[in-house]
Every structure is written in C-alpha cells, then in structure tokens.
Amino acid sequence: MRFGINTFLFTSPFTNESVSLFPRFKAWGFDSVEIALEDPAHIDAKLVKNALDDHGLVCGSICAALGPGRDLRGTPKEQAASLDYMKGVLDTMVTLGCPLLIGPLYSSVGRAEPTDPEDYRKQWDTVAGHLATLGDYARERNCRLAIEPLNRYETDFINTCEQALQMVHDVGSDSLYIHLDSYHMNIEEKDSAKAILLAGKKLGHFHACGSDRGTPGGDHTNWPAIVAALKEIAYQGEVVIESFTTDVKVIAKAASIWRQLEPSQEDIAVKGLRFLRDAMQ
C-alpha cells in the first residue's frame, strides 16, 4: 500500500512548474503523487517523470478533470471531447510510468438533474460503450481505469459503490475498477465499510479525506471500520489524500469550500499522512 497526495490541494492547473512541489511531498513522507491533469498539453511528461525520479516519488495515479465540455453522456461533441481528453491522458501516463486513471470518468462533475428512467438507461448504455472503448485503449498501454461514485450534488449518475459495480459489470472490461472516496461515501453510502467490502477485488483506488473535506482523522468518519474493511479485502492500492482549502480558488469554488477548514495545506498533508500510516499499519 502506498500513500499519496492529490495536487489539487496545492495548485490548479498542474504544469511543469508544479514539480516544485515534489521536494515538499517527499520531505513530508509521501510515496506517490496523484497529478490532477487538466490538459496533457500542460506538461512535458518526460520532465515531470525525471522530477519524480529525482525525488524518489512515483505518479501513482492521474486524477481526471471532467469539467464542462467533457461528458461521456453529453452531446456528441462533449462525448468526443471527453474521449479525446482521456486518451491523451492515457498516452501521457505511459511516459510518466503511471498505471491508473481515476475519477468520475463517466460525466462532467456538477451535472446533477432529474432524469427519467428511459433517458437514464440511454445515458448508461452510452457511457458503458465509451468505457469499453477506453478500457481497450488503457489495456494496450498497460494502464487501468477506476470510476468514482460522487455525491448527489456533483452527479445524478453514479452515487454509490453498488451503481459503480453495476457499470463495471456491464462494461465487462478487465481494465475497469472502482475508485471510492471517504468524503462521497460519508454522504451516499449507508455504511462505508460495507461499500468497501462490496467492491472487494474491484476496488482499484481509495481517496481519504475528512468528512468536511478537511484532514483525514480529524473528523467523524468511522476510520477503524474503513481500515478493517480495506484489510479484509487485502487492498494493496494507493491511499491518496484528496482534501481542499480556500487557497486554490478555482478548486475551492468547484468543491464549495467557503471557509478555512484547517490551519494550512501543509497541516492537512502532514497530519493526514501521519494518521493514515498509523491507522493502516
């Protein structure tokens, strides 16, 4: 099990200059970096890979940025743009040596509206077809995908592990896994630990943050139950802190962070990592 940090806590967008964060990440004790890559053109992948190597880090995952205009269940133009973007990211991942693309790969974040059952089924089938295509593309590059259920305020499409498992089943790709996030589970799951057990061997990625999007461990989340569930399924993937502050304005607005949740970004990273290592040892 490796412990990582999502770059959205510190910057948006991630560019070549963002590699200046790597010495701090290493000094704080992280094993890996989860790069939130808004556009593959923002980086020279070889430069970033060299910087990771120089600091004894790996890019364990790429966090997809599915904003407006990128939507596998949207208009034909939005579907095409989303496919082009994720294929470009997967190509970049080869150079970075990164094995996993994660996030709500199925839809634009923030698209949440009532949908009648017939339209939902059509959207579901459309997304399943696209994820099958992306699964094949990922496999050819020795990469994997992990789809993330989001809370009801950020999507109307996949909110729970059970729904994500159904999509994985319907797609039928051995490259497709589930990505669970403690914040979203806190809102949508009846029992976060049971959701982890339900995912089982299909759990490909795990995000850890506080129930208020702050520091993991400084919240009301039932962490002992979550840790026990991860151990029961013998989870060996990444555990990544994905918390936000008001410092990165565009992300703060997108995640509805209106007040200072913690003393600092460093405080979240250092205390969160210490808690997770202690809890999961």
Query: In this structure, what token pair is assigned to residue 184?
Result: 């979203």
Tokens of 97: 């040596």
Strand partners, 3: 239
Domain count, the chain: 1
CATH number at residue 236: 3.20.20.150
Q: Which domain holds residue 195?
A: 2-280
Query: Can you read off the two tokens belonging to residue 157?
Result: 């499409």
> CA angle 95-96-98, nearest 5°?
115
* SS3 (DSSP) at 47: helix
Per-residue pLDDT of the chain (281 residues; tens, 9 = 90+): 999 999 999 999 999 999 999 999 999 999 999 999 999 999 999 999 999 999 999 999 999 999 999 999 999 999 999 999 999 999 999 999 999 999 999 999 999 999 999 999 999 999 999 999 999 999 999 999 999 999 999 999 999 999 999 999 999 999 999 999 999 999 999 999 999 999 999 999 999 999 999 999 989 999 999 999 999 999 999 999 998 888 888 888 888 888 888 889 999 999 999 999 999 98
Phi, psi (deg, nearest 5) at residue 150: -110, 165
Q: CA dist 200 to 12, 194, 209, Å?
A: 33, 10, 21
DSSP β-bridge partners for residue 207: 181, 240
